[in-house]
Chain A
């Protein structure tokens, strides 16, 4: 994963099917600023250009304004609009982006709600390079 360029240590982009096209975009939907920072770094390693939204409503407004994202990481618990409602609304709007449901809760009920809402996969937090690599390998 690491390439040596002169004396520098710059980690290579991890290849993934979703980012073979240029300008693959990912939207991180989470009210936690730490999740923004962490998910940005993780997704950048796979070659995504990243954007953030603080809640489900902001995410929906972005799509309504004409934006499109190849991948969405959707947190479960958020103020204003939670991840379940946001996912359902996006799917009802015809949004076909890959959606990853994420939650700090490991309860199966949360996963079931997300799957019913229309996510492509669910992960308990924290997201890691390994989890994302597995997801991208299987799509």
Chain B
């Protein structure tokens, strides 16, 4: 693949993030902070998000294994995860986090379990897409 084709592929992939509702304007704000002084800023902050999210998701998993559920604790853990997600513009992940929080407030254990799976799924899908994107961007640089 020549450089132009590569760049076109990267641009299309990036556009798809917004068209398919994976990312919102916050991602563009991150790109705006990237320059020659911080050339990998976006990839670094996304990497930081995925690093932190492993820990946050683990805390949630452990709490979801305990009975009865501590809905307050679960909601607090998800609040942190949602905050991190919104920092990179991960809108689908954020939406699922909100759904989980709503189930916590309603004391709905089944709802929490199923929406947690959705959170994990959206998180994993976005991670794969972003990893592909950054890999291509590095190859094109």
Contacts and interface: CB of A to CB of B under 8 A. Distances in A.
A125 B83 contact: yes
Contacts of B89: 126
Interface string A35-77: 1011001100100000000000000000000000000000001
Nearest to B28: A128
A34 B48 contact: yes
B86 A125 contact: yes
Given A32-B80, A104-B86, A128 B29 contact: yes
A132 B73 CA distance: 32
Given A2-B35, A41-B38, A32 B83 contact: yes
Interface residues of B, number: 24
A21 interface: no
A38 B79 contact: no
Contact of A11 (B26, B35, B76): B35
A50 to B, nearest CB: 13
Contacts of B87: 34-35, 38, 125-126
Contacts of A35: 83, 87
What are the nearest 8 A-B pairs in CB distance?
Answer: A104-B83, A11-B35, A8-B36, A126-B87, A128-B29, A41-B33, A9-B36, A34-B48
Interface of B: 26, 29-30, 32-33, 35-38, 41, 44-45, 48-49, 52, 76, 79-80, 82-84, 86-87, 89
